[in-house]
Structure 1
Amino acid sequence: MYFMGIDIGTSSVKIIVMDEDGNIKADVSKTYLIFYPKPGWAEQNPDDWWERTKSGIREVLSKTDISSDEIKAIGVTGQMHGLVLLDSENVILRPAILWNDQRTEHECEYITDCVGKERLSELTGNKAITGFTAPKILWVRNNEMEIYRKIKHILLPKDFVKYKLTGEFSTDVSDASGTLLFDVKDRKWSKDMLEILDIPESWLPHAYESMEIAGYVTKEAAEETGLKTGTLVVAGGGDQACGAVGTGTVKEGIISVSLGTSGVVFACQDGYSVDEMNRLHTFCHANGKWHVMGVMLSAASCLKWWVENNEPHTFEDLIGEAEKVEAGSDGLIFLPYLMGERTPYSDPYAKGCFMGLNMIHGRGHLTRAIMEGVAFGLMDSMEIIRSLDIPIREVRLSGGGSNSKLWRQIIADVFETDVSVLSSSEGPSYGAAILSAVGYGFYDTVEEGCKRTINISETVSPCDENVNIYNKIYNIYKGMYAKLKDTFYEISNLC
């Protein structure tokens, strides 16, 4: 008996097959392109997600002697907030607008003015930010009316792939929470928000709990993927909720830190509560509870950008140089706002920059400063969580960046706390597979599934000497945005 998890990530689809004990029997990644038509814009072709998913499923099945009959259920997760539009013939109307796209500032201002800041938080648990889905819908209405008039269905990225698998239009409560059209407290679409923004509810998919059955693999999808017709597909979840399931962050006191394309600090909550200043997002969790999280838009992607612009030097080359540099990078500080920022500033105009650069700094200093700057950005969210008296008993690190020993140590030093690293680093796809096993009935609850599958492989403790250095630098770091905010805006107007 096996379970499949599919993660429609920002840069690739990741597919895993998990056995009953949580062991990963095979995994495959398939990359696709991101398009940046204008500064601050980010788009993808939804058909690329499906094409890579189809070939990835066939490949992952071919890697083992597992037959399609033995895959009992599938869970799908993926990047949140993206806008996929289909017409009455279920044809894609335009490229998907992604979570890190920053074009909707004016639409966010309109929503805040139209609904009212306090009322918006009351209805959705959140404030309007450029990454969310509702502002994207309004942007299409304001700028592409010919396309807007043809809309019949609105889907999130993972739900488009789920539609291609099952023929059903569905989403889940965790992913729907990031649309700004969802009543997070009562776990349903907000009729008030839809009415205020004049968006038909008929365009939206049914919202299930993450472990509920959302459909079954169709004959057509089975022929294209090699799966068995009728294979159960659960609703799944947004990548952060599924990533939290994949790290066992399903009860209060455990904090998940995801060091992926974006950076996320995530805390599960048994009940619904909202940060009065909306610095953190409040969303439905994939286990029937709720969670709060802080999000930085550029985390491991900062290092990816740096590596790509230092070819032919490899990731290993650059990290090796950074390891030779002392903590604090000799006073060099990096602001990781390469795609604007969300927590705690919610500023699409924020820019990345190095501060304190002088003649003593080499490439190793810049590499280490990038890793430290990302850790400081994550610390912004951790400080807010601590200020809200949310219990913190354990911090678990996941995401591609967690594979770096140096980065793990930097996180522990900046957070001044032990950091646990898990034996499985698959994150969202692993969480999606666990959810599918719950939907199939193999586990009674998400919590049981996590307890039976997730193990800690390493605990990294902070170095006291580094902690003292980072405390001093972080105090400087967190004051830099306010000093540069107006400059960031002026620079944006030059583009």
Structure 2
Amino acid sequence: MLLLGIDIGTSSIKVCIVNADNQQVVVAAQYPDVESPIKSLQPGWAEQDPAMWWEHVKLALAKCQASGKYDAKQIAAIGIAYQMHGLVLVDKQQNVLRDSIIWCDSRAVKIGEDAFDAIGGDTCLSNLLNSPGNFTASKLAWVKQNEPQIYAKIDKVMLPGDYIGMKLTGEITTSVSALSEGIFWDFKNEQISEDIKKYFGFGEDLFPPVHPVFSSHGIVSENIANELGIPAGIPVAYKSGDQPNNALSLNVLNPGEVAATAGTSGVIYGVTDSLEYDSQSRVNAFAHVNYTHDLKRVGILLCINGTGSMYSWAKKMFGQTLTYPEMNSEAEQIAEGSDGLLILPFGNGAERMLNNQLVGAQFSDIDLNIHTRGHVFRAVQEGIACSFRYGLDIMRSNGMNPSVIRAGKNNLFLSDLFTQTFVNVTGVPVELYSNDGSAGAALGAGIGAGVFNSPMEAFKDMQLLKRIEPEATHKMNDIYENWKQLLNKYLTINIK
């Protein structure tokens, strides 16, 4: 029996086929091979066309099928992971009304801040566990305020994964986890937030039916099955935002367990069993994939917008002819600390952990006689690792103190240098596994479709690739203090 996983990323779409009998990936593919475009019509804006995601799903799946490594008739269920917080709007005919306003778009920051003040900070934090901030609800409010002709046509509000589910099945559903990431869910009253609906003037009918994460979200229609070459009638049995899904893929489901990713954005995601929140909403709390009325499982999420996106920018500017492994090799030739070069990797929208400030990417202490592109490559990786440390310290102040962090060996964690730097500066060992988002989505589908009796069964054969411990002689703590001093300088400038 086979399971199909689809991961709707910002940079690309990843698809994989997993053998349910041994939980191993049979074949995987992504499309495109280079980063997908992000439309930025104004500074701080970020949009993508949902139709592009769907076309890329089909092309990635075609690459898997061209491998000849499996019989598509054996696919029993589909799981979807997706970039979080994006806004997708459709009319009654399921036509997309505008490009998706994606996660790193900053246009709605002020709208969210005003909502926080008007609804009341205590109410927002105790009920929503977050400020409305720059999340999906605030983006929908921006459309209502600025594009009333589009808002008037909306039948349903969706997240990116809901759109792909709709294309596969013709049905539109949501979940408590999805509603919580959009800041639509009232944890205290266990319902779509009346405060959010009343303040923004949203009608109840905008929201799709609420299903459990692990359940049927519709079955693949015959027309789509024929187009994709997969069986008709199989269920989309799992939908989750990429970070809860990444945690699932690493078997991070219980209180105290922590996962990390370093793709386009960087995330540390820890699970707790209480309705916790950060008083400044610098880190955020969402219903985890296994959250239920009786089993409270909340994911505490630290997000850094500019991680893989910062390294991708460095490649475009300084290493166009190089592969990422070649960039890593050049960086490894440079001494720890990059001979004084410091980089703040905050050039991809407002940073929640910096109270939604737009600090921008910054280079400091460039020596034109010393610094080479290798220094830039290393300083970028060190700057990203330092930003993780800054965010982790916020999580620690809120009671999240991981003794180990699990990560998939992909994206920036493919770099031995980055992984060791991350471990050195945070002081926390990292365990690397082979699972990624698309594989997690496939296994999630197996749980949702009843192929596995429990998540424990789905991950019983997960094997540790490597454990990385802090080096005794590293100097990253001193480097971090210098980096933080530079960051505080720019935060002070922004406040003024």
Match status 1:52 vs 2:56: yes
1:429 lines up with 2:418 in the alignment: no
1:246 aligns with 2:231: no
Aligned to 2:479: 473
Match of 1:215 in 2: 218
Give 2:447's aligned residue: 438
Find 1:482's aligned residue among 481, 485, 488: 488
Deviates most, 370-379 or 327-336: 327-336
* 1:25 equivalent in structure 2: 26
Q: How does 1:1-400 map to 2 (within 5 A)?
A: 1-20=1-20, 21-31=22-32, 32-130=36-134, 132-184=135-187, 188-288=191-291, 289-310=297-318, 311-358=320-367, 359-398=369-408, 399-400=410-411
Instruction: Work out the CA distance in 1 between the residues paired with 2:77 and 2:403.
Output: 33
- Report deviation, 1:64: 3.1
The structural deviation recorded for 1:385 is 2.4
Asked if residue 455 in structure 1 is aligned to residue 463 in structure 2, the reply is: yes
On the 8 A contact 2:268/2:303 being kept in 1, the answer is yes
Q: Which runs of 5+ in 2 are unaligned?
A: 292-296
Distance 1:128 1:480, change over 3 A: farther
Could you tell me which amino acid in structure 1 is paired with residue 391 of structure 2?
S
The SS at the match of 2:196 is helix
CA distance, structure 2, for counterparts of residue 120 and residue 185 of structure 1: 10
Q: d(CA) in 1 for partners of 2:301 and 2:461? A: 24
Cα separation, 1, equivalents of 2:472 and 2:414:
23
What SS does the corresponding residue of 1:102 show, helix, strand or coil?
Answer: coil
Post-superposition CA distance 1:51-83 (Å, at most 9, x none) = 111232233233234223211111011001111
Q: 1:88 to 1:440 in 2, by over 3 A?
A: closer
Three-state SS of the structure 2 residue aligned to 1:180 is coil
Which residue identity is paired with 1:41?
A: W
CA distance in 2, matches of 1:361, 1:382: 29
How far is 1:489 from its partner?
7.5
Which secondary structure state, in structure 1, belongs to the residue aligned with residue 473 of structure 2? Answer: helix
Deviations 1:25-73 (A, max 9, x none): 0111012432111221111111111111123223323323422321111
Shift of 1:22: 1.3
Q: What TM-score does the superposition give when structure 2 sets the normalisation length?
A: 0.93
Q: 1:184 to 1:80 in 2, by over 3 A?
A: farther
| Structure 2 counterpart SS, 1:207 | coil
Answer yes or no: is the 8 Å Cα contact 2:85–2:182 preserved in 1.
yes
1:438-466 residue CA offsets vs partner (Å, 9 max, x unmatched): 1121222223322x142210111211211
Letter in 1 for 2:93: E
**How far did residue 486 of structure 1 move?**
5.2
Amino acid at match of 2:72: S
Distance change (3 Å), C-alpha of 1:479 and 1:119: farther
Q: 2: CA distance between counterparts of 1:244 and 1:475?
A: 30
Instruction: Count residues in correspondence.
Output: 484
Aligned mates of 1:36, 1:230 — CA distance in 2 = 39
Please state whether the residue corresponding to 1:107 is helix, strand or coil: helix
- Give how far 1:185 is off: 5.1
Tell me the distance in 2 between the aligned counterparts of 1:40 and 1:72.
41
Question: Match for 2:431: what amino acid?
Answer: S
**Counterpart residue identity of residue 308, structure 2:** A
Conservation of the 8 A alpha-carbon contact between 1:351 and 1:488: no
The equivalent of 2:294 in structure 1 is none
Query: What amino acid is aligned across from residue 127 of structure 2 in structure 1?
Result: L
2: CA distance between counterparts of 1:378 and 1:124? Answer: 25
Provide the rounded CA distance (Å) in 2 between the counterparts of 1:486 and 1:181.
Answer: 32
d(CA) in 2 for partners of 1:215 and 1:275?
36
- Report the AA paired with residue 303 of structure 1: Y
Letter in 1 for 2:25: I
Which amino acid is 2:59 matched to? S
**Contact 2:129 2:275 (C-alpha < 8 Å) held by counterparts:** no
Residue 76 of structure 1 contacts residue 237 of structure 1 at CA under 8 Å; is this kept in 2?
Answer: yes
Spell out structure 1 runs of 4+ moving beyond 3 A.
184-188, 486-490
2:472 counterpart residue number? 464
Q: Which amino acid aligns with 2:28?
A: D
TM-aligned CA distance change 1:366 to 1:65, over 3 Å: closer
Contact kept in structure 1, 2:325 and 2:415, CA below 8 Å:
no
Query: How far apart, CA to CA, are the structure 2 residues paired with 1:320 and 1:364?
Result: 9
Aligned-partner Cα distance in 1 for 2:151–2:461:
45
Conserved? CA contact 1:9–1:78, under 8 Å: yes
Secondary structure of the residue aligned to 1:29 is strand
CA distance in 2, matches of 1:94, 1:348: 27
Match of residue 418 from structure 1: 429
Secondary structure of the structure 2 residue equivalent to 1:456: coil
The separation in 1 between residues aligned to 2:224 and 2:186, in whole angstroms, is: 33
* CA displacement at 1:153 relative to structure 2: 1.2
One-letter code aligned to 2:406: R
* 1:403 alignment partner, one of 404, 409, 414: 414
TM-score, normalization by structure 1: 0.93
Q: CA deviation at 1:391?
A: 4.6
- Distance in 2 of aligned mates of 1:388 and 1:135: 25
Residue 493 (structure 1) aligns with: none
Contact 2:331 2:378 (C-alpha < 8 Å) held by counterparts = yes
TM superposition shift of 1:416: 1.6
Counterpart CA distance in 1 for 2:217 and 2:154 is: 22
